[in-house]
Amino acid sequence: MKTIVSTRTTIWAGILLAGFVILEWRLVHLQVLRHEELEEKAEECRFTTRVDQAWRGEISDRFGQPLALTIPTKDIYADLTVWSNHVDLLAPLVAPMLGLPPDRLANYVRQKLASHQGPAANGEPGALLLKRGVTLTDWTPIHDALARNAFGMPTNHLVSRQKTLLKAFRRWTLFTQNNQQRYYPYGDLLGTTIGFVGTGTYGHLLAGRWGLEACLNNLISGTNGLCNSSQDAAGNELSFCRTEESSVTDGAQAILTIDLRLQQIVERALGRAVTNCHPVCASCVVIRPVTGEILAMASLPSFLPQRPALSPPANWRNHVISDPYEVGSAFKVITLAAALEHHAVTLDQRFDCHQGTWIYLRSALHDDGHHYGIMTVRECLAKSSNIGFAQIALLVGKANLYDCIANFGCNRPTGVPLPNETSGTIKSPAHWTPTSITRVAIGQEFAMSQLQLAMAYAAIANDGELMQPMLLRQLNHADGNCWWRYAPKPVRWVVHPETARLVRAAMQDVVDYGTGKAAAMADYTVAAKTGTAQKSDRHGYLPGQVYCSFVGMLPASKPELVIAVAVDNPQGPASGGTVAAPVFREIAEQAVKLYGIIPDKIPVINRPTAPPRRPFNPGDMIAMNQ
């Protein structure tokens, strides 16, 4: 008997000893061998970092009308701990609330449960994002429905375990994280200029991806706040354990020089042109020449900034600034300005246009479809004679012509705060061929953007002073107080005021009896030039493809507006005078009413005196290539 008791004691003692050995080994394994690993995991669970998102500032037109603003939204998550054993119960209840098919939601949750790779929200493991960008209006009924739902349980006879489960269902089946969404109240209006936003850091913050949203991102996105603190086992922040905290600084408000009313006029006019002649694209920019302010800028086709992925990336492109074109005859105005500035010709000087065909250095130059004879310089501009302007350029000389091109800013970006602005492409005179001067004079063998050309015309409208284009008018702090007000910035004098006035006088003939008659207005004088340039690629000119343009200013005596219209490759027979000039007139007729511009073709009693322009200073006329 004693032997049996002793044996049992020995066995139990052995079992206890083995248990203690295993326990000690486990303690050593956890506290010594895996100490650093487990301590790191514990710290991850105990500490949390919360990002307080700064409010993205709005973008508005010059009168404060919002063009891009931010609205509060919710990102909806599912707690996989709650869903793990109840997918079949929860998916059919939740899916209709989120506008999802129940089977699709169930399969998605099961997939994440199987992989254990659900993304984290607020540092909580097992949080699965189900829907992003839900408005408060849409989230409220979802929240209320979950708070009332019994989830198939008899609410009158619940045991303690069922009460706990029901509470978890109502609280954690769906939960949200605060977010914000960019909203564009005017749809695709000004879309290529404003651009759009995308997902930024931390997977939910907004970041500018295109247009002004991208260029102004550092100003209007603000500074996010960070909070490092501890949390309890349920994931609730322990505010008394905060170790580091930085406050939120909301983004600035950007006020543009754009006039929404004029922008709508421009886009309607361009839209009709697109409908009528089906071009690759059409674009327009309207500038106030005295200040360089851009009052309207449009490119069609456009896109919805709210849903940019619905449109091809080609529609995102701002053709006013990004596309370099051979502008053709519209450039003859710059050639004329160079000729008059260097006293190479006078407006009444005559040139033989050789009945439409002229051979220079064994290379033929044509006035397509025309057989002009002797014409004055004014007539050469009005009738857009290539031969006449080639001869004028030879009198100017390639060095002087290139200096004038550089002074007008046709070979460098304008500095407008938008992405992907082209600098244009023009070779220095050292790389010109012997015939290049006769081609550059008529807008061939080099390319420039529509905005570069428009700003050059604006300099002529501004009595010879080139201004930097203005798209930003003011920045305000988040509280609405002014932070920075932008002022017009003169770049340089490009020609003398008298030269600019002579050029404008010659440009009036283009509209009065030349190629731009379709732009004539009853009560206003218009100075303008047409352009019909054959498109090219690296292999040469493309038959049947043209770039039609029209750039004009009014009133011609003291221009208040410069309007540049371009229609790229319209279908059917087309020219700048037949396709682009009518768009100019449609915009101009409404713009003069919008701004109350006084007609200059009829006498006006007690006409107010316009403010004087900045005095001309010859010392400011410095060629950019010197």
Over 80: is that where the pLDDT of 233 sits? no
* Residue 1 counted as domain residue: no
Q: Are residues 500 and 584 in the same domain?
A: yes
pLDDT of residue 45: 57
- pLDDT tens profile 147-198: 888 877 777 777 778 778 888 888 888 888 888 889 999 999 999 999 999 8
Question: What is the domain extent for residue 346?
Answer: 260-304+322-475+483-601
Q: What is the 3-state secondary structure (H, E, C) of 145-190?
A: HHHHCCCCCCCCCCCHHHHHHHHHHHHHCCEEEEEEEEECCCCCCC
Q: Are residues 235 and 205 in the same domain?
A: yes
pLDDT of residue 171: 85
* Residue 314 counted as domain residue: no
Q: What is the CATH number of the domain that holds 103?
A: 3.90.1310.10
Q: Are residues 275 and 218 in the same domain?
A: no
Q: Are residues 282 and 224 in the same domain?
A: no
* Residue 309 counted as domain residue: no
Decide: 93 and 151 in contact? Cβ < 8 Å. Answer: yes
Report the share of the chain in percent with pLDDT over 90.
58
pLDDT of residue 592: 97
Q: Are residues 273 and 243 in the same domain?
A: no
DSSP state of 32: I
Q: Are residues 360 and 385 in the same domain?
A: yes
* Residue 15 counted as domain residue: no
- pLDDT tens profile 132-144: 888 888 999 989 9
Structure tokens at 542: 């493309």
pLDDT of residue 23: 76
- pLDDT tens profile 277-315: 999 999 999 999 999 999 999 999 999 999 999 999 999
Region 70-97 average pLDDT: 88
Domain boundary residue, one of 226, 256, 286? 256
Q: Are residues 252 and 268 in the same domain?
A: no
Over 90: is that where the pLDDT of 447 sits? yes
pLDDT of residue 203: 56
Q: How far apart are the first and last CA of the chain?
A: 119
* Residue 240 counted as domain residue: yes
Average pLDDT over the chain, rounded to an integer: 86
Whole-model pTM over 0.95: no
DSSP state of 558: S
**Within a 10 A sphere around the Cβ of 330, how many other Cβ atoms?**
32
214 dihedral zone (left: phi>0; alpha: psi -120 to 50; beta): alpha
Over 90: is that where the pLDDT of 3 sits? no
More confident residue, 445 or 125: 445
Count the alpha carbons within 13 Å of 272 in the hemisphere toward its beta carbon.
Answer: 12
Residue 490: which pLDDT band, with cuts at 50, 70 and 90?
A: very high
Asked which of 212-216, 239-243, 415-419, 519-523 is least confident by mean pLDDT, the reply is 239-243
Report the share of the chain in percent with pLDDT over 70.
86
Asked which of 174-183, 313-322, 393-402, 601-610 is least confident by mean pLDDT, the reply is 601-610
- pLDDT tens profile 11-57: 777 787 777 777 777 777 667 766 666 666 655 555 666 677 888 99
Q: Are residues 450 and 548 in the same domain?
A: yes
Residue 316: which pLDDT band, with cuts at 50, 70 and 90?
A: very high
**Sign, CA torsion 424/429/430/435:** positive
* Residue 22 counted as domain residue: no
pLDDT of residue 607: 45
pLDDT of residue 619: 54
Inter-helix orientation angle 497-513/332-341, to 10°: 140
Among 443, 413, 439, CA closest to 546: 443
Q: Are residues 217 and 297 in the same domain?
A: no
The domain total for the chain is 2
Q: Are residues 246 and 265 in the same domain?
A: no
- pLDDT tens profile 491-522: 999 999 999 999 999 999 999 999 999 999 99
Q: What is the CATH number of the domain that holds 579?
A: 3.40.710.10
Over 90: is that where the pLDDT of 567 sits? yes
Q: Are residues 238 and 264 in the same domain?
A: no
* Residue 26 counted as domain residue: no
Q: Are residues 291 and 251 in the same domain?
A: no
Over 60: is that where the pLDDT of 234 sits? no
* Residue 171 counted as domain residue: yes
DSSP string, 211-242: HHHHHTHHHHS-B-EEEEEEE-TTS-EEGGG-
